[in-house]
Structure formats: C-alpha cells, structure tokens
Amino acid sequence: MTTENKLAITGGKPVRDSYLPYGRQWLDEDDIQSVVDVLRGDYLTTGPTIDLFEEKVADYVGSHYAVAFSSGTAALHAACFAAGISQGDEVITTPITFAASANCILYMGAKPVFADIDPLTYNIDPDSIEKLITPKTKAIIPVDFTGQPVNHDQIQKIAKAHNLIVIEDAAHALGASYKGETIGSISDMTMFSFHPVKHITTGEGGMITTNNREYYEKLLQFRSHGITRDPKKLSQNHGSWYYEMHFLGFNYRMTDIQASLGISQLQKLNDFIKKRRHLARTYNDKLKAISHIHLPIQDAASTSSWHLYVIDLKLDSLKGNRDDIFNAMQKENIGVNVHYIPVYLHPYYQRLGYQEGLCPNAEKLYKGMITLPLFQSMNEEDADDVIKALKKVVNYYS
C-alpha cells in the first residue's frame, strides 16, 4: 500500500492523514469461520462446496447453470473455448476494459477486434460493433464497464442477425440489472470475477453462468484438463476408475476453500451493492458543483451495481492534465486510479499491429478519466474527503 503523504501538491497538509485506497474487500468473522469449517472438513478442492456456490450464484442471477473457475480470466478462456472460437475467427470487444477481456481471444488463436465506446456511457457502442462485423466474426465480448450493463437490446439484435455468440464480461456487474433482468442470464455466457476489488471475493476466482447445457458441459470439462468420467461420453469403459481426456483443457478449478468464502460473501452482496449505490449517489449529488468534470452517465435501461466511479476531466478548462490531477489526488492521500488504458495501446498489442487512433472515443476518455475510491467499507466521511480533495485539486489547476 502507498505510504502516507505529509505534504500536498496544492500546498499545506493533505485532506486526509491516512491513505484511502480505491477499492478494498470486506471480510467479517462469518467469512473467516466458513473457510475454517472447510479446512476442518474432508474436501479442500472440488468437493460439495463448489457445487453449492455454483448453485447459489445461478440462483442469484437466474441462470440454469454456473461453473466456478480459478479466476475470472480462466472463466473467460473457458467461455471462448465453449463458444468454439478458434484460429482465424474475429471477436469484437471494447478497448476500455481490463486486458483479460481481449487476451482470452488471443488464447484461442483468434483476433480481437476493438469497437469504439459510446462517449456517454463509456460502454461498447452497438453501432460500432455492427460496422466491424465480417464473415470471420464469431462472437462479441461486451463489458459492463463500472457495473453499468451494456445495451443488451441492441447487442442481442446484432448477435441474432449475424449468428454471433455473446460472452458478457460482467466482472464489474454482479447484481446489476438491465430492464429489470439480473445480469447473468441475458447473454449466451456471462463471466463474473471474485478478485478482492470486485463486489464479492474468493481471493481469486471466477464464474460462468449460462442457460445452455452444451456450453455448461464443455466448461466443466475444460476446467479439468478436458477429462470426463461421464459414462455417456466415454469411448470405452474399464470400470469406475476409468476416465478419458477428449480435448486439451486446463486445471482451472476453484477450491472448496475459496467457494466457502464465496458463499459467505454472497449473503452480503445485496448490502454491499446498497452501500455502493449510496456512495455513488453521494458523489453524484456533491460533485455536481464542480464544473470541470463530467460525472458518469447512466442509461435508463441499466441499473448499475457500481463497481467503479469514473469521472472524466474537462481538460480544456484545466491547466493540468490527467496525470497532474491524479498525482495531486494521491498527495492528498486519496487512492485514485485509472480504468483503463485502452487495451490495444499496451506494448504487446502494439507489437501485434494495433495502431493508435483506432477508437477515438476510447482514447479521448482515457486522457481525462480518473477512478475515485468506491468500496463497501467506505463511509460518508471518506466520500466527503474525496470530494473535498477533488475540489481542492481541481481548483488548484483551474
């Protein structure tokens, strides 16, 4: 963690004495006890607790099936496999996301194609998707950025018209909804992450939810080396010990230790979201007074679960750039962050041939965006500190 600053860039003492991180998990004694219980039991990995966690997440999001993985990234990889994405295919995704949303396409030997964002919601722009479709397009990986669901009506329409599979990256959007429907059963497959900064945590972990039985079975098999013991699937059978490997899978299993934490955390999810929504409202209300920033805009069809609170600086009206404001906020002991560098601007993607200028809206947003701290154990005073610091810093640079 960053050490505390004694001096602010804006002069004098920082707004906060202690450093406020941008995100932090919330664990209580119940969570700890549930993990201890598993440690005292018979199964450490892939026992009954995994099944129960999967069942509870499927219940929560309203999907028929759920498959737990060792990480959200592993879950995305598995979903790409289940979707049959392979070499020569193109898959459309957004550049304003964590690299994993596009990396999973590369894992399959396929080509990530980046569609630009809607400058208001920062989510992938359906019109931009449509323009990029070619005979090679196989799937779309939309990302519910900051917890705000994408424009599902449009994306479903495009997917149906062009026979594309939709793998939704909902790492930010557990508990969010679109037109009243909980995220997790709208797309062909939906990915959730349980990394500690996300809504609920298992340390590391991820999940795919789906209503499709065929995908479900492939996901399970991919998670464990491509091996099956299902008698209906075996080419021969030498007895109850016998199993076969049918394709090249991985060891992407979640442990029962992690799943027990996930079950315990899931019980608190609605409270966590309530708190995040409350904090976001506080930001919305109190930051309105700062004319140098754009506040996040919510689409009327989407109800966000508020993973991130991202503001966009009106750089034309400021003397400093994003990094000046970012550094000054850090010196006020406010743990601001940047989500995200457009994926294709990473050196690795540049080496693959992606050029700057590909998605102008995304690049423009990137230049001005700052993520403010937002997590369930933050209180009103913490939020007020953030607001006070932002006013101070913006004032200093205007």
Taking CB under 6 A as the criterion, the residue among 169, 188, 312, 385 binding ligand PLP is 169
User: What is the nearest approach in angstroms of ligand PLP to the Cβ of residue 169?
Assistant: 5
User: What is the nearest approach in angstroms of ligand PLP to the Cβ of residue 204?
Assistant: 6
Does residue 104 interact with ligand PLP by CB under 6 A?
Answer: no
Does residue 375 interact with ligand PLP by CB under 6 A?
Answer: no
User: What is the nearest approach in angstroms of ligand PLP to the Cβ of residue 144?
Assistant: 8
Tell me which residue has its CB nearest to ligand PLP: 72
Taking CB under 6 A as the criterion, the residue among 57, 61, 129, 143 binding ligand PLP is 143
Q: State both tokens at 306.
A: 């508020």
Distance (Å, whole) CA 263 – CA 34: 9
Residues counted in the chain: 398
How far apart are the two ends of the chain, measured CA to CA in Å? 30
Give the contact letters, 293-332, x = binds to ligand PLP (CB under 6 A), - = no. Answer: ----------------------------------------
Taking CB under 6 A as the criterion, the residue among 8, 10, 23, 72 binding ligand PLP is 72
- Whether residue 206 contacts residue 192, with contact meaning beta carbons closer than 8 Å, is answered with yes
Does residue 374 interact with ligand PLP by CB under 6 A?
Answer: no
Taking CB under 6 A as the criterion, the residue among 16, 77, 138, 195 binding ligand PLP is 195
User: What is the nearest approach in angstroms of ligand PLP to the Cβ of residue 179?
Assistant: 22
Q: Which residues contact 257 (CB under 8 A, 6 or more apart)?
A: 35, 38, 39, 44, 45
Q: Write the DSSP string, 197-248.
A: TSSS--SS-EEEEES-HHHHHHHHHHHBTTEE--TTT-SS--STT--EE-S-
- Whether residue 220 contacts residue 67, with contact meaning beta carbons closer than 8 Å, is answered with yes
**Burial degree of 338 (CB within 10 A; 0-12, 13-18, 19+):** middle
The site for ligand PLP (CB under 6 A) is made up of: 71-73, 97-98, 100-101, 143, 169, 171-172, 193, 195, 206
